[in-house]
């Protein structure tokens, strides 16, 4: 039973090999056969892909970092890659990939707490309605009394000022000694994912 799946994959592989041998003959195959052959092969390829993905998810589920690669006794190297052996002394590797992303919200909270928001952020000015702004500018040309102040206020109300905290600004504050490097670590969201790869045998 332990090798039943392997035997089925081997038999499938023989069929794939037979198809591969037909590639050079494709120009001579009748159109009707090509149409049906393509449709069937395309269906098979999707089903094989579905099988491969199901096996991958059983080996390593990146959503919650579970699977066969995380069972007790699995070999892990110094880079965090994990290894599993097959029945034919073959081997798969779950290659660890670490993704680090700057968390702007966390950075903003830290800078506000330290009173450094102005230094650690950039000011962005946005207008909610450019057409209305243009109309107000045109009307302002003909206003010479106090009504002009109301127009200017209406124009001002169309603008929104937002501050965007950037990683570059935070790094500059670290260089200036205003933020500790340990605090910066808390501003980074770290995600670990694994990619399943075949370990090539050394010749």
pLDDT, tens digit, 9 for 90 and up, residues 53-108: 999 999 999 999 999 999 998 999 999 999 999 888 889 999 999 999 999 999 99
Higher pLDDT, 189 or 133: 189
- Rounded to whole angstroms, the Cα distance separating 20 from 8 reads 18
CB 87 within 8 A of CB 144: no
pLDDT digits (tens, 9 = 90+) for 7-60: 888 888 888 888 888 899 999 999 999 999 999 999 999 999 999 999 999 999
Q: Is the pLDDT of residue 134 over 90?
A: no
Determine if the pTM surpasses 0.85.
no
Q: Is the pLDDT of residue 132 over 90?
A: no
How far, in Å, are 9, 20, 45, 48, 170 from residue 15 at the CA level? 10, 9, 12, 12, 58
Q: Where are the domains of the chain?
A: 1-59, 61-97+191-203, 102-190
Percent of the chain with pLDDT over 90: 47
């Amino acid at each position: 039973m332990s090798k039943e799946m392997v035997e089925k994959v081997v038999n499938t592989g023989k069929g794939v090999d037979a198809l591969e041998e037909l590639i050079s003959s494709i120009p001579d195959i009748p159109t009707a056969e090509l149409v049906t052959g393509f449709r069937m092969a395309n269906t098979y390829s999707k089903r094989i892909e579905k099988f491969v993905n199901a096996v991958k998810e059983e080996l390593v589920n990146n959503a919650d970092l579970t699977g066969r690669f995380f069972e007790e006794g699995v070999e892990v190297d110094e880079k965090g890659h994990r290894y599993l052996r097959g029945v034919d002394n073959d081997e798969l590797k779950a290659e660890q990939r670490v993704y680090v992303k700057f968390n702007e919200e966390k950075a903003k909270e830290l800078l506000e707490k330290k009173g450094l928001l102005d230094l650690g952020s950039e000011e962005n000015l946005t207008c909610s309605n450019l057409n209305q702004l243009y109309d107000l500018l045109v009307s302002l040309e003909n206003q010479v009394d106090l009504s002009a102040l109301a127009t200017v206020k209406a124009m001002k109300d169309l603008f929104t000022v937002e501050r965007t905290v950037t990683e570059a600004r935070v790094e500059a504050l670290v260089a200036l000694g205003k933020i500790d490097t340990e605090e910066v670590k808390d501003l980074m969201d770290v995600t670990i994912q694994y990619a399943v790869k075949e370990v090539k045998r050394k010749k």
